[in-house]
Amino acid sequence: MQSTRNVKPPVFNPVTGAIRALAMDAVQQANSGHPGAPMGMAEIAEVLWRHHLRHNPANPKWADRDRF
């Protein structure tokens, strides 16, 4: 596994901003729920997706892909 000790997070990351906005929209549309967990975990989800999970956008049905 790759070390992330020297990773400096950006002041604003548009991906994590989008995750937060989608979390708020989902709770609003459902008229139920609490967006705190997905909003607080946005950076963790982004790092997992970019650096640790195996996926291939060209082949979304790849059998060995990680599910998230």
Among positive and negative, which fits the CA dihedral 67, 55, 37, 44? positive
Torsion of CA 35, 18, 51, 9, to 10 degrees: -90
pLDDT given for residue 13 in this prediction: 83
The domain ranges of the chain are: 12-68
pTM of the predicted model as reported, rounded to 2 decimal places = 0.66
pLDDT digits (tens, 9 = 90+) for 10-42: 667 888 999 999 999 999 999 999 989 989 999
pLDDT given for residue 9 in this prediction: 63
